Amino acid sequence: MKISNRMNKRYTLISVYVIITCIVIYILSLVAKNAKDILTGLLGMLNWVMGVAKPIAIAFILAYLLDPVVNFFETLYGKIKIKNWKLKSGRTWAVMTTVLLLLAIIVLGISLLVYNVTNQLRLAKLDDIVVLATNYINNINDFYASVLAKLETVNIHSEQINDYIKDNATKLVDALKTGGTSFVSSLANISSYITTVIFALVISIYFMIDGKMIKNYIRKVGRAFLNNSWNTRISIFLKDADYVFSGYIRGQLLDVMVMMFALTVVLSIIGVKYSVLIGIIAGLGNLIPYLGPFIAYFGTAISCLAYGQYQKLIIAVIALAIVQALDGNIIAPKLLSQSIKIHPVLVIISLIFGNAIGGLFGMLFAVPVGALLKLLFSRYVDTRLKEKQEEQDGVKQKEQGREKKPSKEEAGIN
């Protein structure tokens, strides 16, 4: 009976394994057949979750960036005393002051930008613009005619060129239509953008006011559900992330403001048209490495060439090179944390992956994420090297102990 019972249990276990294996294979076959639909559904759910979580993510980023300013005003309000009365709810007043200051800066920047552009357009004479456009068209026609004449001399007929131009013109028109459609759809969704920004601003206010309480509650939950080892690892990771992101993002924002002011002043002194517009856009472009200088040079070249200011273009290019050199070698290193010193190749790779994953938003955070991964990898490598060194030291100590320990024969002789 005992042998039969054991055999039955063994056969039963084998049968269960076979049934489970068949079920798994059947499920995998269904997944393989409907992989496209399943992937589409998962991506749809992911987009929905990202859309819902977008205001919360923006609010968290905004609260994180403004936290030093809030702490500054909270400390300042804490020192305010009128006779025996002390200001209560200093954190709340500090948050409201920070938000009002942020809104004032945004309104001031937009007003200055709009005023500069409208003023430049108002000063520009309509007749000059028409003459400039006519000259451009004539120059293009002359260049096209000269190219056709040269091609005729080498037995390349103009019909081939015309067909080529028609094909590319069709592609250009299609691209313009696609861009126009995207622009119109963006304008149609402007209400959703405004709603997202408003909700993010409101949520960020609560984050800034109750940030310490939220942190303490998260730590409490971590201590309740995780062991000490995991809590220590998470704490170290958060400290590293704060060190890298605070050093990069906040420093980069300061660098953006400095470059916006510097580029605007330099181009205005030289007399470049739309200097404020170029300075603001190029300064904002500094959030993404290598984009700011490209915008500054390209915008300056377009503005100067459009108005025939060739001498100013040369002076502006030299001035921009000096400003960019000062920013790259003096200003940015002083403002940015030492933790984001990574090789330019890694910066480019981070930007490529950031663009592939999250587009422009991904490129904004690609460099600090790459710097954080580099810091974590370097720390892991140092830990592994330390462990190996300790193992080697332990082996050496054991070998030395064996050499010092006398053998049994020597111990008997002695």
Q: Does 198 share its domain with 245? A: no
Q: Is 135 within the bounds of a domain? A: no
Query: Residue 199 burial (CB < 10 Å; 0-12/13-18/19+)?
Result: middle
Q: Is 171 within the bounds of a domain? A: no
Q: Is 342 within the bounds of a domain? A: yes
- When divided into structural domains, the chain yields a total of 2
Q: How many CA atoms lie within 13 A of 389 on its CB side?
A: 6
Q: Is 72 within the bounds of a domain? A: yes
pLDDT of residue 254: 82
Query: At which of 225, 246, 271 does a domain end?
Result: 225
Query: Residue 358 burial (CB < 10 Å; 0-12/13-18/19+)?
Result: middle
Q: Does 313 share its domain with 338? A: yes
Q: Does 281 share its domain with 348? A: yes
77 band by pLDDT with thresholds 50, 70 and 90: confident
Which residues pair with residue 85 across a beta bridge?
Answer: 82
Q: Does 206 share its domain with 245? A: no
Q: Which two tokens stand for residue 336?
A: 């940015």
Q: Does 241 share its domain with 221? A: no
Q: How far is CA 121 from CA 96, 116, 131, in A?
A: 37, 9, 15
Q: What region does 274 belong to: left with phi over 0, alpha with psi -120 to 50, or beta?
A: left
Q: Is 28 within the bounds of a domain? A: no
User: In angstroms, how far is the first alpha carbon of the chain from the final one?
Assistant: 67
Least confident of 2-16, 26-40, 253-267, 301-315: 2-16
What is 156-198 written as a DSSP string?
--HHHHHHHHHHHHHHHHHHHHHHHHHHHHHHHTHHHHHHHHH
Angle at 209 between CA 204 and CA 210, to 5 degrees: 100
Q: Does 219 share its domain with 344? A: no
1 band by pLDDT with thresholds 50, 70 and 90: very low
User: pLDDT at residue 224 above 80?
Assistant: yes
pLDDT of residue 324: 85
Q: Tens digits of per-residue pLDDT, 95-150?
A: 888 889 988 888 887 887 777 667 665 555 555 555 555 655 665 666 666 666 66
Q: Tens digits of per-residue pLDDT, 31-59?
A: 777 777 777 777 777 777 777 777 888 88
Q: Does 377 share its domain with 240? A: yes
Q: Does 71 share its domain with 218? A: yes
Average pLDDT of the chain, as a whole number: 75
* Whether the Cβ atoms of residue 202 and residue 99 lie closer than 8 Å to each other: no
> For residue 345, which amino acid is it?
V
| Per-residue b or e along 283-308, where b marks 16 or more CB atoms closer than 10 Å to that residue's CB | bbbbbbbebbbebbbebbeebbeebe
Q: Is 329 within the bounds of a domain? A: yes
Which is higher by pLDDT, 251 or 87?
A: 251
Q: Does 276 share its domain with 201? A: no
Q: Is 324 within the bounds of a domain? A: yes
Average pLDDT over residues 254-274: 86
**Strand, helix or coil at 274?**
coil
pLDDT more than 70, % of the chain? 70
394 band by pLDDT with thresholds 50, 70 and 90: confident
Q: Is 366 within the bounds of a domain? A: yes
Alpha helices in 307-339 (DSSP H): 310-326, 332-335
Q: Does 254 share its domain with 274? A: yes
pLDDT of residue 245: 80
7 band by pLDDT with thresholds 50, 70 and 90: low
Rounded Cα distance between 32 and 84, Å, is 75
Q: Does 289 share its domain with 195? A: no
Q: List the domain range (segments joined by +) for residue 103.
A: 55-109+189-225
Average pLDDT over residues 369-378: 82
Q: Does 217 share its domain with 289? A: no
* Closest among 240, 262, 279, 235 to 248, alpha carbons compared: 240
User: pLDDT at residue 179 above 70?
Assistant: no
